[in-house]
Amino acid sequence: MLTKRLTRCCAVIFMTGVAMSPVLEAHPAAAQTDSTYFYRYLLGALSNFQTGCFGPCACPVLISSPLEGTFTLKHVGFDGLFDRYSVSDVRWVVPDNTTTLTIQGAGTYRVGGEVAVQQQMSLDLSVSGGPIQHFDSGLIAGGGGFPKIDITISLHQNTACRDTMMRVEASPYYTASGIATGAIGNSAALDRVSPNPFGGQVKLRLTLAHPGPVEIVVYDLGGRIVRSLANGAWFTAGEHTLSWDGRCDSGASSSAGVYFVRAQAGGDRFVRRVVKVE
């Protein structure tokens, strides 16, 4: 009999030389993604459209105008580093003094990272019925304020003097009560984890459209339960803020590293990645 000590929370697992008993829960990142997790987004006042020449080139910017419209964001999976989303139903307009440009298309968005939060948006768009063109932000720092999105996409990512750029500053539809009215077929959302990475404690924002029991559990990379933050507790409808102080259920401090927070409310389930630093 071989004894292996785990450093995460001083847990002990007994293993035989042949096989390990399948008592550990499945890794949360391998859980099935809830296909109903998608939101309708509205572009904010900071969104804009620019086309022309950009520094250090001396030629002028031809068009600089607000960007208006909506799009749909749908969670499609988690790859161990990034939450991945499909972007669809892009319906944007650029109200110019002489004409109105229309922009339609679809693509992808991802947010996460190894330590620092990073994001990337890639869209294939048609401007006023023209040929489809690929706009990309590249993988850049940012995304810590998700579900709010603030990112700039362009045709050439600053590799050419002449370019077309769009700043996408957007949020899900919200009512005064804080419930995402743009959520389609979804009654809950674990829509903010901050700060991330964290040292002392991390705050989690859970939004419920209806009251009901909630389960929130923190797992380590091996799929082991580190901390249970809510075990069937009854939550009212609305926005709730919880926190994890980085400790295990035993009260011992967990080690620095990557963890996963899984929240389940009704038929909705979400997994968010958090990084604890010393």
Q: How far is residue 129's CA from residue 157's CA, in Å, rounded to a whole number? A: 23
Which of 122-131, 185-194, 210-219, 245-254 shows the lowest per-residue confidence on average (mean pLDDT)? 185-194
Together in a domain, 165 and 72: yes
What was the pLDDT predicted at 63? Answer: 72
CATH number at residue 224: 2.60.40.4070
Q: Are residues 128 and 230 in the same domain?
A: no
Whether residue 3 is contained in a domain is answered as no
**Domain range spanning residue 271?**
187-276
Q: Between residues 34 and 238, which one has the greater pLDDT?
A: 238
Q: Are residues 157 and 222 in the same domain?
A: no
Q: Measuring CA to CA, which residue among 167, 192, 188 is closest to residue 237? A: 188
Same domain, 146 and 54: yes
pLDDT at residue 10, rounded to an integer:
42
Give the Cβ contact number of residue 54 at 10 Å.
18
Instruction: Give the per-residue pLDDT at 119.
Output: 95
From 162, 164, 182, select the one nearest 172 (Cα to Cα). Answer: 182
| Residue given tokens 């927070």 in the structure block | 261
Question: Looking at the structure, do residues 152 and 59 belong to the same domain, yes or no?
Answer: yes
Q: What is the mean pLDDT of residues 10-20?
A: 32
Asked if the structure places residue 168 within a domain, the reply is yes
Q: Per residue in 172-208, pLDDT tens?
A: 764 333 444 444 444 567 767 788 888 888 988 888 7
| Same domain (yes/no): 105, 212 | no
> Can you tell me the distance from the alpha carbon of 255 to that of 260, in angstroms, rounded to the nearest whole number?
14
Residue 129 carries which side chain, given as an amino acid letter?
G
pLDDT at residue number 187: 59
| Terminal Cα-to-Cα distance of the chain (whole angstroms) | 34
Of 172, 203, 237, which closes a domain?
172
Domain boundary among the residues 172, 204, 234 is at 172
Query: Residue 216: CB partners within 8 Å, gap ≥ 6?
Result: 204, 206, 228, 229, 230, 242, 261, 262, 263, 264
